[in-house]
Amino acid sequence: MKVKWEDDLLTGIGIIDDQHKKLFARISSFTEAVEQQDYEAIEDTVNYLIGYSIQHFGAEELLMIRNGYDDFKRHREEHSWFINKVYDLHKSLLKKEISQEQLNEMRDILINWTIHHIKVSDKRIFSHIR
């Protein structure tokens, strides 16, 4: 399955949009890696997601706090939920206990959750603080 960046995902904040675009490239390669059962590429993406989720969500949260964004706590809960998923997946990888269900779940989260999160929750931040 191909996951393609579309411009309706733009938030209007350049640095955040650049990070989102890079994430999309990774989602696309993760999807292919899961299809091909390429565990090296899967691990590579999971390692990327660990750094990405901490750094990128941190950048968003900094903007929300600095701007006194009203919906910060709820938004941060969405981030925490995703970070916990990444943590669980990485832990299974470390223990070499990763299942196909977990990989499929992560692929679906990456595609569906991410698109929804950017289109609804992230766009809402940036329309409020602009």
Residue 122 contacts Fe ion per CB under 5 A = yes
Stretch near Fe ion under the rule CB under 5 A, chosen from 9-17, 47-55, 60-68, 82-90: 60-68
- Compute the Cα dihedral for 39, 41, 42, 47 and give only its sign: positive
Q: Are 129 and 22 in contact (CB under 8 A)?
A: no
Least Å distance between CB 23 and Fe ion? 11
Closest distance of CB 118 from Fe ion, Å: 7
Does the protein bind Fe ion through residue 17 (CB under 5 A)?
no
DSSP labels for 57-89? Answer: HHHHHHHHHHTT-TTHHHHHHHHHHHHHHHHHH
Taking CB under 5 A as the criterion, the residue among 31, 46, 60, 103 binding Fe ion is: 60
Q: Which residues bind Fe ion (CB under 5 A)?
A: 60, 122
